[in-house]
Amino acid sequence: MTEIGVILLAAGRGTRMKSGLPKVLHRIGGKPLFLHVLETAKLLQPRRVAIVVGYSADAVRHAYGGAEVTWVTQENQLGTGHAVLSAKQSFSDFPGDLLILSGDVPLVSERTLRTMIARHREEKAALTLMTAVLDEPSGYGRILRDSHGALKATVEEKDATEEQRRIQEVSVGAYVAQGEFLFKTLEQVRNDNRQGEYYLPDIVGIGIGHGRKIATVEVGDPREMMGINTREELARMEKTLRERINKRWMDAGVTLKDPDTTYIEDGVTIGRDTIIGPNTQLCGRTIIGERCQIDGTAFLTDVEIGDDVQLKFSVVMTSSRIDPGAIVGPFAHLRPGTWLGRNVHIGNFVEAKAAQIGEGTKANHLTYLGDVTIGRDTNIGAGTITCNFDGFNKYKTQIGDRVQVGSDSTLVAPVALGDDAYVATATTVRRDVPAGALVYNERQERVREGWTENKRNKMKVTKD
């Protein structure tokens, strides 16, 4: 099989996005648009990939971060034809076909690309372009054919006549070309059009004029080749991608109670028989085990959750890990660096940060656990606070196995509680507590009988 080279166009500003960010860095499914295209193109195992950058080039380069691509700079964005021509040097010695893709068409599938390349080779074409027939073709370049249906040329919407604008067959901006034909023909492209740009699709008309064979392939599902030029299109595309990802997980045995309000990013993994309730967002590299139950309103980013975990209503969790069988929530916040061992229970209004919590331990109500290591089968009473910050530095708290921390206790770090320690209710612990010891604060409790009535009477007198 002949080699394939890829030219990915990502130099444009994307004026219609009305953004400080280059268009290709806007995200769907949590990932910049051009990375969707790049990852799909890489599935074809191309011999060479060139990305044409220009507007905010450094930011685009930075967003990729990987190796194995050639960056081509298009100093001034003079049009898509000019952009491809900028990559000429990178392919001067390249023997294979060149696949040209736009960075703003993120849902293009590997299958579609393979179909286009196969057709190009079957037809022995100089150029093959992908087309779609759209109910609403506005915004796209139109395909012009003669009365026999033979391809003549393309016309951009801004240059099209009223009649041409009624044509529903459009170019979706994906092409396969013979390298030599491509660069030679591009040099003949002029910018005498409404936008004063060098249009890549102009090589269609020029090629036909020279008697070269130009083929077209119609894309099976036009939604996959939608380009993004506006925020509205971005939102629509996000929805299409979401539906596609959600379907994939439902097909794989995950229950989504309300797919319309379930947002699963591309890098997420979910085990079978997990049930996910409404308003759930699973982001980044999140991994969820089998038979988990996420009741709803959950926002999880870069987390790892073992099998049979239950997240009750409203859990926010970032860069943390939960081992099998744990129960979290409702209304819990697990911040980065938190690890919950097997069967841990974290209840309502509990916040944990960099907290290592051992198997079977429970912290069920109104608690802050920050920079703490807790052993097994410990019970953290309601209203316990690890005071990890003194206004200058952060300190660690260590709590052993089977410790009983009474409600309303404050543990002033750095501090350590040994195994089987017992913290009486409402204790401020400032010193380390040995294993098995009781710790409490001396505090006399006094009861004054009749105090309330006396007080009320006094208040009445002063009021009058």
**Residue nearest Mg ion, Cβ-based:** 227
Position 48 contacts ligand UD1 (CB under 6 A)? no
CB of residue 25 vs ligand UD1: minimum separation in angstroms?
Answer: 10
Q: Give every CB contact of residue 444 below 8 A, 6+ residues apart in sequence.
A: none
Position 12 contacts ligand UD1 (CB under 6 A)? yes
CB of residue 67 vs ligand UD1: minimum separation in angstroms?
Answer: 22
CB of residue 300 vs ligand UD1: minimum separation in angstroms?
Answer: 32
Position 12 contacts Mg ion (CB under 5 A)? no
Q: Is the bond preceding residue 222 a cis peptide, omega within 30 degrees?
A: no
Amino acid present at 248: R
Q: Answer with the entry of Mg ion, ligand UD1, none that 12 interacts with (C-beta below 5 to 8 A by kind).
A: ligand UD1
CB of residue 390 vs Mg ion: minimum separation in angstroms?
Answer: 55
188-201 burial by CB neighbour count: b if 16+ within 10 A, else e?
ebeeeeeeebbbbb
Among 11, 186, 288, 416, binds ligand UD1 (CB under 6 A): 11
Which of these segments, 74-82, 101-109, 279-287, 415-423, binds Mg ion (CB under 5 A)? 101-109
Please list the alpha-helical segments (H only) found in 124-255. 162-165, 179-186, 202-209, 231-251
- Would you call 247 helix, strand, or coil by DSSP? helix
In angstroms, the CA 149 to CA 151 distance is 6
The two tokens of residue 361 are: 């331990």
What DSSP string describes 2-44?
--EEEEEEE----GGG--SS-GGGSEETTEEHHHHHHHHHHTT
Check if 365 is active-site: yes
Among 19, 168, 191, 229, binds ligand UD1 (CB under 6 A): 229
Q: How far is CA 78 from CA 10, 58, 84, 184, in A?
A: 13, 19, 11, 18
Q: Any idea of the CA torsion for 71, 76, 77, 82, to the nearest 10 degrees?
A: -70
Position 99 contacts ligand UD1 (CB under 6 A)? no
Among 74, 131, 262, 280, binds ligand UD1 (CB under 6 A): 74
Q: Give every CB contact of residue 462 below 8 A, 6+ residues apart in sequence.
A: none
CB of residue 126 vs Mg ion: minimum separation in angstroms?
Answer: 24
Which of these segments, 119-127, 171-179, 243-251, 355-363, binds ligand UD1 (CB under 6 A)? 171-179
Which of these segments, 56-64, 97-105, 360-368, 437-445, binds ligand UD1 (CB under 6 A)? 97-105
CB of residue 78 vs ligand UD1: minimum separation in angstroms?
Answer: 5
The distance from CA 165 to its chain's CA centroid, rounded to whole angstroms, is 36
Position 10 contacts ligand UD1 (CB under 6 A)? yes
Which of these segments, 44-52, 187-195, 221-229, 439-447, binds Mg ion (CB under 5 A)? 221-229
Q: Answer with the entry of Mg ion, ligand UD1, none that 74 interacts with (C-beta below 5 to 8 A by kind).
A: ligand UD1
Q: Any idea of the CA torsion for 14, 19, 21, 23, to the nearest 10 degrees?
A: -30
Position 50 contacts ligand UD1 (CB under 6 A)? no
Q: How many CB atoms lie within 10 A of CB 400?
A: 20
Among 29, 106, 201, 347, binds ligand UD1 (CB under 6 A): 201
Which of these segments, 38-46, 104-112, 339-347, 357-365, binds Mg ion (CB under 5 A)? 104-112
Q: Answer with the entry of ligand UD1, Mg ion, none that 91 interacts with (C-beta below 5 to 8 A by kind).
A: none
In angstroms, the CA 157 to CA 194 distance is 10
In angstroms, the CA 200 to CA 141 distance is 11
Position 306 contacts Mg ion (CB under 5 A)? no
CB of residue 213 vs ligand UD1: minimum separation in angstroms?
Answer: 20
Q: Is the bond preceding residue 414 a cis peptide, omega within 30 degrees?
A: yes
In angstroms, the CA 186 to CA 200 distance is 7
Among 41, 153, 200, 305, binds ligand UD1 (CB under 6 A): 200
Among 227, 271, 296, 347, binds Mg ion (CB under 5 A): 227
- Would you call 256 helix, strand, or coil by DSSP? strand
In angstroms, the CA 169 to CA 277 distance is 41
CB of residue 104 vs ligand UD1: minimum separation in angstroms?
Answer: 4
The two tokens of residue 307 are: 């099998």
Interacting residue ranges for Mg ion, rule: CB under 5 A: 104, 227, 229
Where along the sequence are the contacts to ligand UD1 (CB under 6 A)? 9-12, 24, 52, 74, 77-80, 82-83, 102-105, 140-141, 156, 170-173, 199-201, 227, 229
- Which residues form the catalytic set? 365
